Amino acid sequence: MTFLDYAPAPESRAVLNLRSDYGLFIDGEWRAGNGTPFQTISPATEEHIATIATASETDVDAAVAAARRAHTKVWSRMSGSDRGKYLFRIARLVQERARELAVAESLDNGKPIKESRDVDVPLVAAWFFYYAGWADKLDHAGLGANPASLGVAAQVIPWNFPLLMLAWKIAPALAAGNTVVLKPAETTPLTALLFAEIVQQADLPPGVVNIITGAGDTGAALVAHPDVDKVAFTGSTAVGRAIAKQVAGTPKKLTLELGGKAANIVFDDAPIDQAVEGIVNGIFFNQGHVCCAGSRLLVQESIHDEVVDRLKDRLSTLRLGDPLDKNTDIGAINSREQLERIRELSDIGVQEGAERWQADCAIPENGFWYAPTIFTNVSTSHRIARDEIFGPVLSVLTFRTPAEAIAKANNTPYGLSAGIWSDKGSRILAVADKLRAGVVWANTFNRFDPASPFGGYKESGYGREGGRHGLAAYLAPQGTRKAVAPPAGRPTDSGSLENATRPKRQGSPAAIKGAAK
């Protein structure tokens, strides 16, 4: 045992009180799903955790109908201050059950407990606390007096930050007076189901929050449901495209938070120690399962060797293993499917001529794992410099001038995030101006806050989550969403945008399948 070895320090699972089977949470109560149930497993051990219901189209109908009733009869009529109090309750309940939620998240997702405990769950509580305070202040959201809620929000979230993405979706929707039907990702349904228990403990009126589980078909049915007013999706760009096509021609409002291939730009005057930590955080946080991950390192040519050497030294100290161990830095890859994709793209990197280096760490026998990986000699045309890998794989490119760095950073159809490392303030501001990305971190990376808007340019999607902008995504100015000849059997509290032409026909149903991310 060297001084860098640690004895195992696993977080206790005794705090969990899981059921063997979970149903759907619709209209304030648990009910069986009509689809074929599926298993959720721990990606670190492949052991079974629980059996999860699959919502069929009938179940989706029931959930949307419950949300519609709750919106019409209760939630949209409730005072903002009361809606806010419910959200404050939820924030407090999340804080009270924080340890349990963190353990469940690490168990089901595979992320290190220190991340779920110190990042995910505290941010979940912060998100509800932040938006709780907005509920009775909607007049100040930037849409004029008395903005209206949209109605029923269909929300489909990915597996990389299961509970945090739930909070990003549900907190602003409820504060603005909408009701929601949320579908967590197939591989990570557990914390959303625990959240349903919190909703019950908070005594939220039935139907305001509905949680339905299932695979891509369930998500597709939810998004396509004609009685949905708002669609919010976080996941892959391919699925985002399919949803945008599905929603075309309807009055549904749409927010998409999709993929990324962020450039992390390191200038030669950067504080190197901090930059190395920032690069590691940028791409190895959450095993690189981060849409805004700094997956392309753009380092100024003169310091390339020094930065890469230091990175390799630092990665050699990272501990890969049991997500529930408090000393673990790198957890498990979320699924076999994702591991295959990472392996495939990484191998293509080698085939295309880039040089692969992997940290020398022991890989556990069971479960899905991928050692931290760095590619050097990468050119902009390589797949590993263009495609989102969504894993612990960093591609290193070089530049000589700021103009070249900017050109390379923007040379992607994505535009979610970027990083800049330099000690020169004027250069940081000038480069930040030129980057086509929705979030720019300067001398830091992967920071999130409920007060701070997050979202992409170009094919990283549209709309913002977080801050006042994230609230506005669930509101419409007074009078702009009036009842216009709703489809048969539909209550009349929402409808087309004012002046909007009635669609000639419904958008052709698109297959919205595949794993969300």
Partner 1 sequence: MTRLAVPKTYKLYIGGKFPRSESGRVYEIVSAKGAFLANAAQASRKDARDAVVAARAAVSGWSGQTSYNRGQVLYRIAELLEGRRAQFIAEIVDAEGVTTAVATTQVDTAIDRWVWYAGWADKYAQVAGNGNPVAGPYFNISVPEPTGVVAIIAPQDSSLLGLVSAVAPALVAGNTVVVVASEKLPLSAISLSEVLATSDVPGGVVNILTGSPAEIAPWLASHADVNALDLVGAGDLEWIDLQISAADTLKRVLQPENGPDAAAPSLGRITAFTETKTVWHTKGLI
Binding of partner 1 by 503 (CB under 8 A): yes
H-helix or E-strand spanning residue 199: helix 190-201
Torsion of CA 79, 82, 83, 87, to 10 degrees: 160
149 vs 237, beta carbon nearer partner 1: 237
How many residues interact with partner 1 (rule CB under 8 A)? 51
CA distances from 138 to 131, 189, 493 (A): 10, 32, 19
Q: How far is the CB of 287 from partner 1 (least distance, A)?
A: 23
Judged by CB under 8 A, the residue of 299, 459, 493, 512 near partner 1 is: 459
- How many C-beta atoms lie closer than 10 Å to residue 316's C-beta? 12
Cross-strand pairs, 149: 475
Residues 123-182 that bind partner 1 (CB under 8 A): 126, 142
* Dihedral over Cα of 147, 153, 157, 161: its sign: positive
Q: Which of 11, 115, 257, 465 is catalytic?
A: 257
Query: Smallest distance, Å, CB 383 to partner 1?
Result: 19
Residue-wise DSSP of 224-238 = H-TT--EEEEES-HH
- Characterize the bridge pairing of strands 230-234 and 253-257: parallel
* 3 state DSSP class of 265: strand
Question: Minimum CB separation from partner 1 for residue 360, in Å?
Answer: 32
Contacts of 104 (CB under 8 A, 6+ apart): 16, 18, 190, 191, 194
- CB-nearer residue toward partner 1: 319 or 436: 436
Q: Residues 11, 100, 105, 291: which is the catalytic one?
A: 291
Pick between residue 91 and residue 437 the one whose CB is nearest to partner 1: 437
Told to check if 501 binds partner 1 by CB under 8 A, we report: yes
Place of tokens 């009775």: 136
DSSP 142-184: SS-SSPEE-SEEEEE--SSSHHHHHHHHHHHHHHTT-EEEEE-
Length of the chain: 517
CA 368-371-373 angle, to 5 degrees, is: 135
Query: In whole angstroms, how close is the CB of 19 to partner 1 at the nearest point?
Result: 34
**What three-state secondary structure class fits 106?**
helix
SS3 at position 9 = coil
Q: Does 462 bind partner 1 (CB under 8 A)?
A: yes
From the CB of 277, what's the least distance to partner 1, in Å?
Answer: 12
d(CA 324, CA 11): 5
**Closer by beta carbon to partner 1, 214 or else 240:** 240
Exposure on the CB side of residue 329, measured as CA atoms within 13 A: 19
The interface with partner 1 within residues 278-297 (CB under 8 A) comprises none
Q: What SS3 state is found at 260? A: coil
Q: Does 457 bind partner 1 (CB under 8 A)?
A: yes
Quick check: is 291 catalytic? yes
Nearest CA to 471 out of 28, 20, 84 is that of 84
Q: Per rule CB under 8 A, is residue 490 in the interface with partner 1?
A: no
What character string, x for contact with partner 1 (CB under 8 A) and - otherwise, covers 416-455?
Answer: ------------x---x--x-xxxxxxxx--x-x-xxxxx
**211 dihedral zone (left: phi>0; alpha: psi -120 to 50; beta):** beta
- Binding of partner 1 by 505 (CB under 8 A): yes
- Which of 294, 367, 461, 495 is the binder for partner 1 (CB under 8 A)? 461
Q: How far apart are CA 236 and CA 232, in angstroms?
A: 13
| By CB under 8 A, residue 458 contacts partner 1 | yes
Segment interacting with partner 1, rule: CB under 8 A, options 219-227, 240-248, 260-268, 315-323: 240-248
* Number of Cβ atoms within 10 Å of the Cβ of 320: 22
- Least distance between partner 1 and beta carbon 438 (Å): 6
Q: Residue 185 or residue 292: which is nearer to partner 1 going by CB? A: 292
Residue among 250 and 346 whose Cβ is closer to partner 1: 250
Q: How far is the CB of 240 from partner 1 (least distance, A)?
A: 7
- Near partner 1 by CB under 8 A: residue from 240, 282, 294, 367: 240
Please confirm, yes or no, whether 404 is among the known catalytic residues. Answer: no
CA distances to 130, 373, 468 from 135, in Å: 10, 45, 12
Question: Which is nearer to partner 1, 355 or 498 (by Cβ)?
Answer: 498
* Least distance (Å) between residue 79 CB and partner 1: 26
Q: Between residues 193 and 258, which has the closer beta carbon with respect to partner 1?
A: 258
Are the C-beta atoms of residues 88 and 127 closer than 8 Å to each other? no
Among 81-89, 173-181, 213-221, 497-505, the segment contacting partner 1 (CB under 8 A): 497-505
Least Cβ distance, residue 323 to partner 1 (angstroms):
25
Q: Give the residue with the Cβ less far from partner 1, 193 or 242.
A: 242
Among 175, 202, 220, 256, binds partner 1 (CB under 8 A): 256
**Residues noted as catalytic:** 257, 291
**Binding region for partner 1 (CB under 8 A):** 126, 142, 237, 240-241, 244-245, 248-249, 251, 256, 258, 413, 415, 428, 432, 435, 437-444, 447, 449, 451-455, 457-459, 461-462, 464, 467-469, 477, 497, 499-501, 503-505, 507-508
